[in-house]
C-alpha cells in the first residue's frame, strides 16, 4: 500500500518528514499511521547523521485537517474510540520525546489532530497564507481534542487561551497564533521550509515561553486559583449549552485533572472522555452535519448544469437585507456590486452597513484599513439603472409588493443582458408569480437570505416551474461564494424554512393565548435547544412581518396556518417588536440590564396568565408542528431530501444541531412514536396536529429518513 509519510535526508543533517495521504485532497490522521510514524521515529533515532526534523504537508495548501472523521464513525465502542486516542498519544509522545528538534512547517488548514501533531513537535512555524488557519474544532463535532491537545495546549499557551480555543473550536489566523504563542514564527510560504530548517538547526531552545497577563499568571499558579477558573468556565458552559452538549464540560475536566494530577493522568482522562464522546448521540448528529455540508459543496444544485461565472452583481434596495447582501457579495465573494435604491439615504444605509462590518475587522486587527477600503471600493451605488448593463445577477431586496417586483423584473430585462439572472429575496411570495412579468422567466429565481445576512449561513434557492438549470446552478455557485450554504427548494408559499417555522410560532402563540407566560415559553424552547425562544424571535423578525406572511401561507396551504385572531390586537396596538421598541419584551433603557417582558401585552391580548405547563410539553407541542410540516415539505417535493431539510432547519432557524435536524430527530424519536404523539394532541387541540400521510406511512412501515 502507498505510504503516507516519507523521509528525505539533507546534507545539513535536517530531515524532511512529508505527510501526503495518497488520493485525498486533505491530509487526515488515520489509525494505520501510528505504526508508520513509529517506524520512522525508530529509523531516525538510529541515524546519528540526522540532527533535526521538519514536518511538512505534501498537499498544496493544507497541512493536516485533523483525525479522519469517517474513521470515528467506524468505532464500535467507547473502548475502541479510547484506544484510537491512546494510539495517538503514543506516537505524539514519542515525537515529543525525541532528542533532536522536530519543527512543524504549517501552510494551510492545521486543525484538530493536525494541530495536536504540530503541538507534539518542539517548534512550529506557519505561513501567512490566507488558507492558513489553526484550531481545535472538535467541540463543534461533539468531541474533544483526543490527541493530547487538552494537555499540551494549556501548557503552551496558558489555561485561559487554551480553554477559549477548545470550548469555541474557533480557527485562528497566523498572526493571532503567533501572538498567543501557538507558533514560533509566521513567514511567507515561499520561505516557510527554509525558516523551519533554520529553526531546527537552532534546536529546541529556540522556543520562547509565552508571555501571560499577570492576572492569568496568578490564576494559573495554584490548583486553588485554577479551580476558580475552571468553575467559572463550567458555569459559562452550562449556561450556554443548557446541558445539551456534553463535550465542553469534559474538556474542562481533562484540563483540570491534567494540571492538578499530571500529564499522564490528563492523557488518561482525555482518552476516556474522547471514547465516551465519540459514541455519543450528540457527536453522531454533529458529525452528520459536517458530512452533509461537505457533500452539498460538491453539488451544483441542478443536475448536469454548469454555473455561469458571476463577475458583477447588482442589489436592488439598500435596506437591512440589501445592505447585508451587498456586504457578503463584496466581503466574501469579492464580486463588485452596484446597489440601487430610490433614495440617497437608502444607499448610505447600505454603504454604512458594509463599512461597519469591515471596520470591526480593522479594530480587531484582522485586516488593515487598506484592505477594508479596497473591499469597500467594490461597492458602488446608484439611484437609477446606470452602469448595470453587464450585471450577471440582480438580487432584489425590497418590500413584499408583487407589483413593485414585477416592475423591477421589467426594468432589469430592459437594462441588463439576456443572461442576467433576476433573483428575488422575497420571504413569502411565490417565485412563479414574480416571474409572470418576465419575458425570460427562465432567468427568474428566488434567493432567500436570513437576517442578519452576514451571520446566518443558510440561503434558500427557489426554482419556479420554468427556472433554467443554468440559472439554478449559477445562483447556487454565487451563494456559495458569498460563504452561504444553499439548499434548492421548490416554489411554494413560505418555501421551506418559513413554512415549518410558521407552524412552530403559531403553536407558541396558541400557548400564549392559553395563558403561558412569555418568558416561560421562551425558556422552554431554549432548554430544548433553540438559540432563542419563539416570542423573542417574533420580536426580532417583526410581529408585523409574521402577520403579513400568515395569510399568504393560510391561503396557499390551508387552515392549519391560520394565526390566532387575537394577534391582530397586537398590530392594532402598534406592537411590531424590536423595530419599534414595542412587542413582547421591553426595549427601553431599563431593558438594557435585563430582558424584561412587557406585561401590558397580556392585557392587549385579553389573557390572564395561567400556571406554568411543563417545559417539555411546551417544547413538544411547538416542535412536533415543525417536524410534521417538514415531512409534508418532503412529501410535496419542496425539499429534495431529508439532508436538505435537516441543514435548512439547523442553518436557517437554529434547530438544535445536537439533534441533527428535524429528520434525524424524527428517526431518533421513531416515526410511530411521533404519529402517536401528534394523534394524542390532535384529540386534545384539533386537526392542526393531524400527522401527514408520509409520516403515517413511515410509521406503518417502520422506516427511517436517514440510512446512517
Ligand X SMILES: C[C@@H](O)CC(=O)SCCNC(=O)CCNC(=O)[C@H](O)C(C)(C)COP(=O)(O)OP(=O)(O)OC[C@H]1O[C@@H](n2cnc3c(N)ncnc32)[C@H](O)[C@@H]1OP(=O)(O)O
Residues that bind ligand X (CB under 6 A): 25-26, 28, 65-70, 88, 109, 111-113, 116, 137-138, 141, 143, 145-147, 294, 297
Minimum distance between the CB of residue 538 and ligand X, rounded to whole angstroms?
Answer: 34
| Closer by beta carbon to ligand X, 8 or else 25 | 25
| Spatial distance between the Cα atoms of 490 and 637, rounded to a whole number of angstroms | 7
| Closer by beta carbon to ligand X, 26 or else 493 | 26
| Spatial distance between the Cα atoms of 633 and 693, rounded to a whole number of angstroms | 12
List the beta bridge partners of residue 57. Answer: 19
List the beta bridge partners of residue 34. Answer: none
| Closer by beta carbon to ligand X, 143 or else 333 | 143
| Closer by beta carbon to ligand X, 145 or else 652 | 145
The burial of 368, by beta-carbon neighbours within 10 Å (0-12 exposed, 13-18 middle, 19 or more buried), is given as exposed
| Closer by beta carbon to ligand X, 111 or else 476 | 111
Minimum distance between the CB of residue 510 and ligand X, rounded to whole angstroms?
Answer: 41
Per the CB < 8 A criterion, the answer to whether 37 and 4 are in contact is no
DSSP for 555-590 reads HHH-GGGPPPGGGHHHHHTT--BGGGTBSSB--SGG
| Closer by beta carbon to ligand X, 59 or else 560 | 59
The burial of 569, by beta-carbon neighbours within 10 Å (0-12 exposed, 13-18 middle, 19 or more buried), is given as middle
Per the CB < 8 A criterion, the answer to whether 183 and 177 are in contact is yes
| Closer by beta carbon to ligand X, 138 or else 491 | 138
| Closer by beta carbon to ligand X, 180 or else 278 | 278
Question: Does 460 participate in catalysis according to the annotation?
Answer: yes
Q: Which grid coordinates are listed for 413?
A: 430585462
Residues 6+ apart with CB under 8 A from 213: none
| Closer by beta carbon to ligand X, 242 or else 249 | 249
Minimum distance between the CB of residue 127 and ligand X, rounded to whole angstroms?
Answer: 15
Q: Which grid coordinates are listed for 257?
A: 485533572
Q: Which grid coordinates are listed for 36?
A: 508508520
Minimum distance between the CB of residue 143 and ligand X, rounded to whole angstroms?
Answer: 6
Per the CB < 8 A criterion, the answer to whether 523 and 569 are in contact is no
| Spatial distance between the Cα atoms of 456 and 123, rounded to a whole number of angstroms | 38
Per the CB < 8 A criterion, the answer to whether 577 and 545 are in contact is no
Minimum distance between the CB of residue 652 and ligand X, rounded to whole angstroms?
Answer: 20
| Spatial distance between the Cα atoms of 130 and 367, rounded to a whole number of angstroms | 12
Minimum distance between the CB of residue 118 and ligand X, rounded to whole angstroms?
Answer: 12
| Closer by beta carbon to ligand X, 145 or else 336 | 145
SS3 content of the chain, % helix, strand, coil (to 5): 55, 10, 35
Residues 6+ apart with CB under 8 A from 12: 51, 197, 201
Minimum distance between the CB of residue 269 and ligand X, rounded to whole angstroms?
Answer: 15
Minimum distance between the CB of residue 489 and ligand X, rounded to whole angstroms?
Answer: 23
Would you give the DSSP letter of residue 420?
Answer: -
124: enclosing H helix or E strand: strand 123-127
Q: Which residues in 375-517 belong to E strands, given as ranges?
A: 379-382, 393-396, 421-424, 444-449, 458-463, 485-490
> Angle at the Cα of 365 (from 360 to 368), degrees rounded to 5?
90
Distance of CA 345 to the CA centre of its chain: 33
Per the CB < 8 A criterion, the answer to whether 19 and 5 are in contact is yes
SS3 state of residue 640: coil
| Closer by beta carbon to ligand X, 70 or else 225 | 70
User: CA dihedral in degrees (448, 452, 455, 457; nearest 10)?
Assistant: -20
Minimum distance between the CB of residue 141 and ligand X, rounded to whole angstroms?
Answer: 6
| Closer by beta carbon to ligand X, 65 or else 102 | 65
Minimum distance between the CB of residue 313 and ligand X, rounded to whole angstroms?
Answer: 22
Minimum distance between the CB of residue 286 and ligand X, rounded to whole angstroms?
Answer: 10
Given 282, 460, 470, 507, which residue is catalytic? Answer: 460
Minimum distance between the CB of residue 104 and ligand X, rounded to whole angstroms?
Answer: 15
Q: Say if strands 62-64 and 313-316 run parallel, antiparallel, or are unpaired.
A: unpaired
Per the CB < 8 A criterion, the answer to whether 421 and 394 are in contact is yes
Which strand ranges, in their side-by-side order, compose the sheet holding 123-127? 5-8, 14-19, 52-57, 102-106, 123-127, 185-187
Minimum distance between the CB of residue 156 and ligand X, rounded to whole angstroms?
Answer: 16
Per the CB < 8 A criterion, the answer to whether 426 and 615 are in contact is no
Would you give the DSSP letter of residue 642?
Answer: H
Q: Which residues in 419-496 belong to E strands, given as ranges?
A: 421-424, 444-449, 458-463, 485-490
SS3 per-residue string spanning 204-237: HHHCCCCCCCHHHHHHCCCHHHHHHHHHHHHHHH
In 3D space, the residue among 548, 539, 518 whose CA is nearest the CA of residue 583 turns out to be: 539
Q: Say if strands 133-135 and 171-172 run parallel, antiparallel, or are unpaired.
A: antiparallel
| Closer by beta carbon to ligand X, 111 or else 182 | 111
Q: How many other CB atoms are there within 10 angstroms of residue 191's CB atom?
A: 12
Active site residues: 460
Amino acid at each position: 500500500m502507498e505510504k503516507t509519510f516519507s523521509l528525505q535526508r539533507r546534507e545539513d543533517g535536517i530531515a524532511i518528514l512529508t505527510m501526503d495521504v495518497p488520493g485525498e485532497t486533505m491530509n487526515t490522521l488515520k489509525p494505520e499511521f501510528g505504526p508508520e510514524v513509529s517506524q520512522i521515529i525508530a529509523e531516525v533515532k538510529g541515524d546519528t547523521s540526522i540532527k533535526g526534523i521538519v514536518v511538512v504537508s505534501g498537499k498544496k495548501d493544507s497541512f493536516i485537517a485533523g483525525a479522519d472523521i469517517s474513521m470515528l464513525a467506524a468505532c464500535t465502542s467507547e473502548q475502541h474510540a479510547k484506544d484510537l486516542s491512546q494510539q495517538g498519544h503514543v506516537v505524539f509522545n514519542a515525537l515529543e520525546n525525541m532528542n533532536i528538534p522536530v519543527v512543524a512547517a504549517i501552510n494551510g488548514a492545521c486543525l484538530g489532530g493536525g494541530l495536536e501533531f504540530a503541538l507534539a513537535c518542539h517548534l512550529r512555524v506557519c505561513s501567512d497564507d490566507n488558507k492558513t488557519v489553526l484550531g481545535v474544532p472538535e467541540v463543534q463535532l461533539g468531541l474533544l481534542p483526543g490527541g493530547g491537545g487538552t494537555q499540551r495546549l494549556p501548557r503552551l499557551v496558558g489555561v485561559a487561551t487554551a480553554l477559549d480555543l477548545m470550548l469555541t473550536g474557533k480557527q485562528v489566523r497566523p498572526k493571532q497564533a503567533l501572538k498567543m504563542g501557538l507558533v514560533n514564527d509566521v513567514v511567507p510560504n515561499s520561505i516557510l521550509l527554509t525558516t523551519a530548517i533554520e529553526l531546527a538547526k537552532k534546536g529546541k531552545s529556540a522556543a520562547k515561553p509565552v508571555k501571560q497577563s499577570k492576572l492569568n499568571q496568578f490564576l494559573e499558579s495554584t490548583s486553588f486559583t485554577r479551580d476558580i477558573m475552571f468553575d467559572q468556565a463550567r458555569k459559562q458552559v452550562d449556561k450556554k449549552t443548557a446541558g445539551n452538549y456534553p463535550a465542553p464540560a469534559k474538556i474542562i475536566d481533562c484540563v483540570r485533572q491534567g494540571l492538578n494530577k499530571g500529564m499522564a493522568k490528563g492523557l488518561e482522562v482525555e482518552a476516556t472522555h474522547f471514547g465516551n464522546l465519540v459514541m455519543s448521540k450528540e457527536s453522531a448528529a454533529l458529525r452528520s452535519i459536517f458530512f452533509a455540508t461537505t457533500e452539498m459543496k460538491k453539488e451544483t444544485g441542478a443536475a448536469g448544469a454548469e454555473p455561469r461565472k458571476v463577475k458583477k452583481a447588482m442589489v436592488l434596495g439598500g435596506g437591512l437585507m440589501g445592505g447585508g447582501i451587498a456586504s457578503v457579495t463584496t466581503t466574501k465573494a469579492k464580486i463588485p456590486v452596484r446597489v440601487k435604491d430610490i433614495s440617497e439615504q437608502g444607499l448610505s444605509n447600505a454603504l454604512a452597513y458594509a463599512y461597519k462590518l469591515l471596520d470591526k475587522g480593522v479594530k480587531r486587527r484582522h485586516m488593515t484599513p487598506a484592505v477594508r477600503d479596497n473591499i469597500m471600493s467594490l461597492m458602488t451605488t446608484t439611484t437609477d439603472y446606470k452602469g448595470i448593463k453587464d450585471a450577471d445577477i440582480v438580487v432584489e431586496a425590497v418590500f413584499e409588493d408583487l407589483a413593485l417586483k414585477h416592475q423591477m423584473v421589467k426594468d432589469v430585462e430592459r437594462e441588463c443582458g439576456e443572461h442576467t439572472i433576476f433573483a428575488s429575496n422575497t420571504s413569502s411570495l411565490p417565485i412563479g408569480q414574480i416571474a409572470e412579468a418576465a419575458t425570460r422567466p427562465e432567468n427568474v429565481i428566488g434567493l432567500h437570505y436570513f437576517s442578519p445576512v452576514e451571520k446566518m449561513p443558510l440561503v434558500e434557492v427557489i426554482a419556479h416551474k420554468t427556472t433554467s438549470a443554468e440559472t439554478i446552478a449559477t445562483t447556487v455557485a454565487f451563494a456559495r461564494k458569498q460563504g452561504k450554504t444553499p439548499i434548492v427548494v421548490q416554489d411554494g408559499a413560505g418555501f421551506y424554512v418559513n413554512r415549518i417555522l410558521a407552524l412552530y410560532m403559531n403553536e407558541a402563540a396558541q400557548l400564549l393565548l392559553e395563558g403561558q407566560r412569555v418568558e416561560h415559553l421562551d425558556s422552554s424552547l431554549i432548554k430544548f435547544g433553540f438559540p432563542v425562544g419563539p416570542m423573542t424571535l417574533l420580536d426580532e423578525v417583526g410581529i408585523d412581518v409574521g402577520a403579513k406572511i400568515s395569510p399568504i401561507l393560510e391561503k396557499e396551504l390551508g387552515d392549519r396556518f391560520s394565526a390566532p385572531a387575537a394577534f391582530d390586537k397586537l398590530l392594532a396596538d402598534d406592537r411590531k417588536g424590536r423595530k419599534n421598541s414595542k412587542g413582547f419584551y421591553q426595549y427601553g433603557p431599563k431593558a438594557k440590564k435585563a430582558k424584561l417582558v412587557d406585561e401590558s401585552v397580556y392585557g392587549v391580548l385579553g389573557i390572564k396568565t395561567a400556571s406554568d405547563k411543563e417545559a417539555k410539553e411546551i417544547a413538544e407541542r411547538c416542535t412536533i408542528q415543525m417536524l410534521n410540516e417538514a415531512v409534508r415539505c418532503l412529501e410535496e417535493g419542496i425539499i429534495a431530501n431529508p439532508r436538505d431539510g435537516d441543514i435548512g432547519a439547523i442553518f436557517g432557524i437554529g434547530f438544535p444541531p445536537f439533534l441533527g435536524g428535524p429528520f434525524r430527530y424524527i428517526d431518533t424519536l421513531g416515526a410511530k412514536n411521533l404519529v402517536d404523539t401528534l394523534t394524542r394532541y390532535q384529540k386534545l387541540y384539533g386537526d392542526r396536529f393531524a400527522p401527514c400521510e408520509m409520516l403515517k406511512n413511515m410509521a406503518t412501515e417502520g422506516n427511517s429518513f436517514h440510512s446512517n
